[in-house]
Amino acid sequence: MSDIQFWTFFFIILTFAIYIFIAWRSRVKETKEFYVASQGVPTIANGAAVAADWMSAASFIGMAGLIAFLGSDGSVYLMGWTGGYVLLALLLAPYLRKWGKFTVPEFVGDRYAESVRIVAAIAAIVVSFTYVVGQMSGGGIVFSRFLNLTVEWGVVLCAAVIFIYAVLGGMKGITYTQVAQYTVLIIAYLIPAFAVAYQTTGIPIPQISYGTILAELDALSLEFGLHAFTEAFAGRGSQLDVFLVTASLMLGTAGLPHVIIRFYTTKTVRGARYSAFWALLFIALLYLTAPAVGAFTKLNLLQGVQGASPDDLPDWVQTWGATGLVTVNENVDVIQTVSNNAASGADLIVNNDILVLASPEIGGLPAPIVGLMAAGGMAAAMSTAAGLLLVISSAASHDLYFRVMKKDGASERQQMLVGRIAMAVAIGAAIWAGINPPAFVAQVVAFAFGLAASTFFPILILGIFWKRANAAGATAGVLTGLVFSGSYMIYTLEVFGTSANDPIMGISPEGIGAIGAAVNFAVTIIVSLLTRPPSERVQEMVEEIRYPATRQERVPSGE
């Protein structure tokens, strides 16, 4: 066993044992504990759990890799995801927490009608399933490289661990597991970043030091047939697409069910607001570091292969080549072109999704740091996947089974059983899709954000701030947005056996969600105005949740 494998096994076994122990200690028997942790999670802990939920495999594994090859256009992920979080914290989270329910479809059902709850529950399952596919794919990549497993078995093992602690502890176990996972992933991300920055520039603060390498990185990128790292609108193709992807990620972020339900777990409305503050602080630690990680990793990669023949490449090329995520053209004398796109025919093709995980090896860092990075990648993938599975479980058991199919009432035991069965079915489907993902990890996740933007964001905003929005409008808006964006994604990607088509007007599938949200807004407003307004009771409920909390709500006794 190599040093890297030893340290990888050590850190992964240690962290997995911690996660499962936390879940076992937090095991639940009641639906309120299973879905919202009895609404008793402390503010800082909830902030860390939100950050872990947020910083999925897309953030940890995919984002810096996309920045490395997209260059400055990779900032759409930084701006979209963080900007959307501000929208969520200011416009949605406090009001939904004051409503005081379990799930997003439950709010939609109370605000509009039971028929809209069904539509929202189906949309929540679609969005969450799309998102969880990216997490399964990211987990498979980690296992395939560091544990010498195939990607397929890596996905299966990742899913099995997630299923164990998600089923045992529900939201309560997931919350405290996510606090541990956040700790693991942020340490695993920052230590290599600081080490590579110091090794490359002599300045151990990556956010400051990476600016000193950009001129050299631009020159090397051009030499290898890539666009300059700092060139604007070169990575995504057009200014319009950059704008739409950013907007889609922002609106989708504010409408993601698995993040919104995190704010249902706090003790008070005030706690939901402060959770948002802590989460943004925790998120910033990684997001402000990602551009530097992308820049340093790309520089070290290009320097390592510059002037090298296929037989004289760095060791990391061979080890990652075994996973199928790095491909070398053996028929050339010297590597002259590098790409992240297999269709380009470059001499060296490097998958976006390996760059962060491979950054310690590319930078020549010691084996313990490589093993720690593997544990961090797994923590990122599992922390978000668990929350997504809970959304799928709650939508199936609480919003569909309990509120629609068993209107005469279902016992706690029946609800818990249905929820766990739904989780098992979802993870089985996610294993298959994670083995056959339609795109890179961060791109798959971006599709989920586009679907959330097209479905949930408009009806949540209108449901809180416009009393005239009604059930007919919300149903029409959600269905139109889902079909519009989903159809465009299928049209432009090779999914479900379809062939990929060229984007219309250069609009990528990651950016269509912004247009889908606009369509949803328009349809919801027009149909609501053409049909009967909501009842007086519903309009009074909408008015009530916009009032500031009373002092008694803000500071309950004992807090």
- For residue range 107-163, list pLDDT tens digits in order: 888 889 888 888 888 888 888 887 777 777 777 777 776 777 777 888 888 788 777
- In angstroms, the CA 432 to CA 495 distance is 13
Which pLDDT score, from 0 to 100, does residue 219 have?
Answer: 93
Residue 488 CB coordination number (10 Å): 23
Phi, psi of 73 (to 5 degrees): -70, -15
Alpha-carbon span 324 to 319, nearest angstrom: 10
CB crowding 244-273: b at 16 or more within 10 Å, else e:
bbbbbbbbbbbbbbbbbbbbbbbbbbbbbb
pLDDT band at 555 (very low <50, low <70, confident <90, very high): very low
Q: How far apart are CA 385 and CA 163, in angstroms?
A: 9
Whose CA is closest to 46, among 270, 252, 285? 270
DSSP helix/strand/coil, 520: helix
Q: Which of the four pLDDT bands, split at 50, 70 and 90, describes residue 553?
A: very low
pLDDT at 554 over 50: no
> For residue 38, what pLDDT band results from cuts at 50, 70 and 90?
low
Q: What angle do CA 312, 318, 319 make, to 5 degrees?
A: 145
Contact 86, 251 (CB under 8 A): no
Tell me what pLDDT residue 552 has.
44
User: What pLDDT does 1 receive?
Assistant: 55
Tell me if the pTM is above 0.95.
no
With 60 as the cut, is the pLDDT of residue 509 above it?
Answer: yes
Provide φ and ψ at 408, rounded to 5°. -80, 0
Neighbours of 472 (CB within 10 A): 18
- pLDDT tens digits, 473-485: 999 999 999 999 9
Which runs of consecutive H residues, i.e. helices, occur in 147-287? 151-201, 206-209, 214-223, 239-254, 257-260, 269-287
**Radius of gyration for the alpha carbons in the chain, expressed in angstroms and rounded:** 23
Side by side, the strands of the sheet bearing 338-339 are: 326-328, 348-350, 338-339
d(CA 315, CA 322) in angstroms, rounded, equals 11
Q: Are 117 and 105 in contact (CB under 8 A)?
A: yes
Closest Cα to residue 264, out of 106, 115, 120, 457? 106
Q: At what angle do helices 151-201 and 367-394 cross, to 10 degrees?
A: 130
Q: Which residue has the higher pLDDT, 553 or 290?
A: 290
From CA 235, how far away is CA 449, in angstroms rounded? 20
* Averaged pLDDT, 395-423: 71
pLDDT at residue number 551: 40
pLDDT digits (tens, 9 = 90+) for 266-307: 777 777 778 878 888 888 888 889 899 999 999 999 998 988
Q: Give me the mean pLDDT over the 43-72 stretch.
A: 80
Most confident of 278-292, 301-315, 370-384, 523-537: 523-537
Mean pLDDT across 251-275 = 78
Chain segment 334-366, per-residue pLDDT in tens: 998 988 877 777 899 888 778 888 888 888 888
Per-residue model confidence as pLDDT tens digits over 175-211: 788 888 889 989 989 998 999 899 889 998 998 898 8
- How does the average pLDDT of the chain come out, rounded? 81
pLDDT at 512 over 70: yes
Q: What percent of the chain has pLDDT over 90?
A: 16
CATH architecture, domain defined by 38-297+364-554: Up-down Bundle (1.20)
In sequence order, the β-bridge partners of residue 338 are 348
Give the SS3 label for residue 339.
strand
